[in-house]
Chain A
Amino acid sequence: MIKHAHPEFPSDIFIVLAAAKATVSIAETDGIIRDATMEEFLKLNMENKIILKVKLPQLDKSKFKFKSYKIMKRAQNTHAYVNAGFLFELGPDQNTVQSANICFGGINNKFINASLTEKALVGQKLFQNETMKSVFATLDKELNVITWERPDADPKYRKNLAISLLYKAMINFCPSKDIQASIRSGGELLTRPISTGTQEFDTYEADYPITKAIPKYEGLQQTAGEAKYSNDFPSLPGELWAVFVQATEVGSKIKNINPEAALKEPGVHGFFSAKDVPGLNSFTPLRFKIFYLEHEEIFCSDTVLYYGQPLGLIVADSVNLASQAAKLVKVEYEKTGGWCNFFHTNPYINCYPFRKQNPPHDLGRF
């Protein structure tokens, strides 16, 4: 259902079910039940309907080849850059394609099947260099519809990834006698063995208890949840929560901040920004010159130095309320231009205009 509500979501469940030609049974409130393919399901208005079940077909092992992949930022627990599912039906020669189902996620918010590539494959001998070459050329063209919505990875990379996954599946399906030994392993995913690690330290019995290993004193309290963190203490009467309002336009100047809408919310008690800081608007104690070289603002007062830089603080009764109210603060920016123009002859100066007013300290001085 996430995929239904947000078609740009690279749903893994959707892609594997679509590739396996699964169907869903959908019940309406009047009791009518009907089956839909995964593609049809996406187009249905699902209001007041219930997905009763998913049906996966039997696929004759002597004819069908199935493979699916998910390539993501980390090994686990994140969305796919690109995911793919392939189902090929091969003829009695185990080579000629009878039907092909090639599905990709993470291309754009509509793309499911690479239909042109599927068509081009039917009747061809799959395990043949000429077929591969022409198929990849077709797929390359077909995937030109790829879109880029940040924070997705670069479309060129994702497109190449999609093509490589089809290649990977083909290597996997190909009988190993027909494939060069040097590329055979490309058909398999890397397998991670159980990780191991060791840690060594010196210990001198003569010096004990110095250098003697002892368990960490508070370890057990921590693992048992008995250790108290600041958020674990009961709330005090009149306790308030503060949430930062963060800048979004890097390189622009803050022209005006209007917290009016936020302050109108019941339970919101105040908004503080640079002008409310008594004394110097800086959290860097410059007397420790080894660590701190220049002033860094508590709240941004002028040019925004990075995405998310704090420019103010909303104070409210609860953390949820404060977070919601922080989003209601209106910030007007003034574009300064020339920011991060790496093509300028002196990119460094152009990239960091604030340094012109605020030259870095000479490290040699101390």
Chain B
Amino acid sequence: MSFQVLINGKPFEVDTLRIPIDMSLNTFIRSVAHLSGTKSMCHEGGCGACIVAVQGNHPVTKENRIWGVNSCLMPIYACEGFNVITVEGIGDKANGYHTAQSRLAQMNGTQCGFCSPGMVMNMYSLMEAKGAKLTMQEVENSFGGNICRCTGYRPIMDAFKSMAMDADEKYKLCQDIEDFATKKCPKTGNDCSGSCEMATNGGLQSTHLTVGNREWHKVYNVSEISQILSTSADKKCMLVAGNTAHGVYRRASDIQVFIDINSVEQLRSHSIGKQLEVGGTVKLTEFMEILKKAAKENVNFSYCNEIHSHVDLIANVPVRNVSL
């Protein structure tokens, strides 16, 4: 049995006979896809060296989005249907560098360079998520999960803030030739048209994989979760959403059944009415947006602005992008 995951648009087979069920996306990128630009360090989602961007469809809105994740905490089996974008995928010597790459180098943001790909991918994910509206304040507030131990953060933040819409004029003078490089499609070799069809499994068909003596299920509704839980009553099960708790308390090594619940629409929905109802797997980043929206729509939810500021202090952006 196998399924496909795209890395920089290129398909890779995840074969249940070869790939262990607990392999991280990071290990897959580095040791199977042999892309060494993505680093690995703390394995806790705390240092940011392993950040990559993930492109996929939102299970409720079906909107195609890009968000940054710590690849060390992301199980490769949870990546079905995603296009994973690594630092190699946004720019290189042959095709021209991405602004985030060239600007960081140009403004002296590297010393040993080990944190740089993670910094770049965090910036790239922010740019993709917020578009042209990205502000200096947002940039400065979004690198809490990227650790640099040598250059210092000032030149790094200067470089990335220079790309914000409200950047100082003196920074805007730093436009360089690389800014005009366009992305090449890894499949066709032509310029990226931005309308790539995502690999999907063609609908909401749940997947059940057996990997050795362990199982991986990707499900689409709550009754399927209940069904698997009751048929696996004698086995140790885990519901997989962000897997970020693994960064705080390591996951037990004897879990036999993994149930990926990220695509369960009911759990990813929300509604603002008499009450503010937020599904169980709504990501913290989405939760923050929902809180802001609720506070704006109804004065009796204005306290949600307070909660919004508090959630902003939890972990860091790539963790909040996947955790609940």
Contacts and interface: CB of A to CB of B under 8 A. Distances in A.
Interface of A: 1-2, 5-6, 9, 12-13, 16, 20, 27-31, 48, 50-61, 64, 66-70, 72, 75-77, 83, 85, 194-195, 197, 199, 215-216, 218-229, 231-232, 234
B-side interface size class? 35 or more
8 contacts: A5-B249, A12-B311, A50-B222, A50-B239, A54-B278, A61-B302, A199-B154, A224-B101
Interface of B: 30, 34-40, 46, 86-88, 91-93, 97, 100-102, 104-106, 108-110, 112-114, 116-117, 119-120, 136-137, 140-141, 144-145, 154-155, 157-158, 161, 222-223, 225-227, 229-230, 233, 239, 245, 248-249, 261, 266-267, 274-280, 284, 294, 298-304, 306-307, 310-311, 313-316
Nearest to B105: A219
A227 B30 CA distance: 14
B109 A194 contact: no
A29 B298 contact: no
Contacts, number: 193
A217 to B, nearest CB: 10
A32 B273 CA distance: 23
Contacts of B155: 199
Contacts of B266: 52
Nearest to B231: A29
Given A13-B314, A216-B105, A220-B97, A50 B280 contact: yes
B280 A66 contact: no
Given A31-B226, A67-B306, A223 B102 contact: yes
B300 A227 contact: no
A77 B315 contact: yes
Given A48-B233, A59-B303, A220-B97, A194 B136 contact: yes
B49 to A, nearest CB: 11
**Top 3 closest A-B pairs, CB basis?**
A225-B37, A222-B113, A76-B144
Contacts of A66: 303, 306
Given A50-B239, A222-B105, 8 more contacts: A2-B248, A31-B223, A55-B276, A56-B307, A197-B154, A216-B110, A218-B113, A219-B109
A231 B34 CA distance: 12
A29 B230 contact: yes
Nearest to A79: B248
A20 to B, nearest CB: 7
A226 B300 CA distance: 52
A219 B110 contact: yes
Which residue among A13, A64, A223 has the maximum number of chain B CB atoms within 10 Å of its CB?
A223
A147 B91 CA distance: 52
B136 to A, nearest CB: 5
